Amino acid sequence: MKTMKVFTPTGQISIAVLDQFIKNTERIDHILGSSRNKDLRSFKVTTALGPILRFYLGDALDFILAHNERHVVQIGNLL
């Protein structure tokens, strides 16, 4: 899926940004590990669009994983 031009990568990868991405990915991995035996439909998450669009926690985590996978593809394309 193509992104809006304002979000198109510049062609350079900052080490600081890459480090932060790795830290965030590790945090998500920890959250997923600790949520294995939890009911992920018992809690809803409000999105950046506000209360109009809300996800169940499990769906929100799926969205984040897919979004991060896209970033990995973008990094691969830049390299």
pLDDT score for 2: 67
| DSSP single-letter state for residue 5 | G
pTM above 0.75, yes or no: no
Q: Using an 8 Å Cβ cutoff, are 78 and 13 in contact?
A: yes
Q: What is the DSSP letter of 4?
A: P
Distance CA 47, CA 55 (A): 7
| Higher pLDDT among residues 75 and 34, named by residue | 34
Structure tokens at 26: 């590790």
- Residues with Cβ within 8 Å of 75's Cβ and at least 6 positions away in sequence, in order, are 13, 18
Give pLDDT tens digits for 30-73: 888 888 888 888 888 888 777 888 989 888 888 888 888 888 88
